[in-house]
Structure 1
Amino acid sequence: MKQFLLIISLLILFSGCVSAPVKDKELHNLVSLLIGDFTNKEQAENDPSFSQLSLINIRIWKNKSGYWVYSQLFDAKKENIIYSQRVLFYERVDSITFASKSYTINNAKEYKEAWKNPKILKSLKPEDLEIRNGCDVYFKKKTSTIYSGKTNKGSCSSSINFVDHISSNFVISKNKLSVWNRGYDEKGKQVWGKIKGPYKFRKNID
């Protein structure tokens, strides 16, 4: 049902829109791999220490320059429990590097069901965003279908009281996405996030 709602939302949101010609095929490919409805259901069933999560990435603002993505991470069994809402901007840095800038949404609660209702996303505006300074993720292409990315060491400050900074690592491939977010104190000791490894998501393609 969730996948059906997502498909309907995307069709309504972007119907009638004519996409600009693709100028950077590699960047376009990276973003295309990220777009969709992901779950780590298989991982959570095999290892109960991992919560079962849903991650939905929807491309927005196709009429603007670059690639903008609305991203929402929430509990797969209790959709009202939302762990993060972000807007991400993807761009090329140089011949071998891509980057995503991360933004919080000032009035995030208004968009908590945005993946279900395209009218909600249509009301989202750039002035609703606040950039997360130092939290850019830098990606490099490893193979024709695999990208890896990470934040710069110690650059992404945290709003969590006992966490000084957060590091994020990504591995992106066809229908798969691994995400490892870890928080450290001022002495560099990990005090937040998984120790054993990343959350491993698979794209729902049914």
Structure 2
Amino acid sequence: MTRYLLIIFAVSLMFSCKDDKQNTQEETKPDHLPELFSLMQGSYNSEVQSQVDSTYYNISLHMYPIWEDKGNFLYVEQALNSTQDKPYRQRIYEVTQLNDSVYSSAIYTIENDSLWIGKWKTPKSFDTLAMDKVTKKEGCEVLLQRLEANLYKGETGEKTCESTLYGASYATSEVEIMEDKIISWDRGFDDKGEHIWGAEKGGYIFIKLDD
């Protein structure tokens, strides 16, 4: 009987140690999602770049957190800096962690997006926007690698993001996120891989503005 009890105790101790090890590994798993999510937030423009190179426009970019109870979501609005009341792009980004160093920024379109122009100023307004009013752009998520503190770089998959803009077949995005700026290079290509739209030389350099 004593021997039987010792065996049970030994087995219980073995599984207990295994569980403790797993819990410790989970507790020490790097979690830099808050860092990335914080870096992305704010207002930006490409004024400096446009002054140096006239082939680039001065674009405004606003990214602010919404739906705080649902996860890490950002409302994103882009426009010519001179006509910010007429944005050419309105999206919602969902930022998630895939593993220790890779993160995903999924993209959603918004139904009746004109109703939300300028609402980055009042993010709580999006509490009335239901999830069934947004649609995920499958294959258009940007996978970001954490290279070091406050530095993330990534891109979309190869030919995974469908786009028909200006006769394109697919679109690509290359993104670099830093503490004081975001470099974003969005381009569209036809089914033969010919460049259709987007900057030709390199990405737009968006400098973060002071609050």
TM-score range, shorter chain: 0.7 to 0.9
After TM superposition, the structure 1 = structure 2 runs for residues 31-180 of structure 1, keeping only pairs within 5 Å, are: 31-64=37-70, 66-118=71-123, 120-180=125-185
Q: Is the 8 A contact 2:40 2:177 kept in 1?
A: yes
For 1:166-191, what per-residue CA distance to the aligned partner results, in whole angstroms no more than 9, with x for missing partners? 00000001111000001110011111
For 1:78-121, what per-residue CA distance to the aligned partner results, in whole angstroms no more than 9, with x for missing partners? 11231210011111112221001100001101001212344633
Identity level (%): 29
For normalisation by structure 1, the TM-score amounts to 0.84
Structure 2: how far apart are the matches of 1:61 and 1:125? Answer: 10
Q: Report the CA distance between 1:144 and its aligned residue.
A: 1.3
Letter in 2 for 1:189: E
Q: Report the CA distance between 1:24 and its aligned residue.
A: 6.8
Residue in 2 that maps onto 1:192: 197
1:24–1:111 Cα change, 3 Å: farther
For 1:138-196, what per-residue CA distance to the aligned partner results, in whole angstroms no more than 9, with x for missing partners? 00011112100100010000031410000000000111100000111001111111111
Residues matched between the structures, number = 183
1:119–1:145 Cα change, 3 Å: closer
1:24–1:67 Cα change, 3 Å: farther
More helix by share: 2
Which contiguous aligned blocks of 4+ residues in structure 1 show a shift greater than 4 angstroms? Answer: none
Residue 181 (str. 1) matches residue 182 (str. 2): no
For 1:1-38, what per-residue CA distance to the aligned partner results, in whole angstroms no more than 9, with x for missing partners? xxxxxxxxxxxxxxxxxxxxxx9740110110000001
Structure 1: give runs of 5+ residues left out of the alignment: 1-22
Structure 1: how far apart are the matches of 2:63 and 2:122? Answer: 14
1:36–1:173 Cα change, 3 Å: same
Tell which deviates more after alignment, 114-123 or 80-89.
114-123
Residue 27 (str. 1) matches residue 33 (str. 2): yes
Structure 2: give runs of 5+ residues left out of the alignment: 1-28
1:25–1:79 Cα change, 3 Å: same
Structure 1: how far apart are the matches of 2:56 and 2:173? Answer: 17
Higher gyration radius (CA): 2
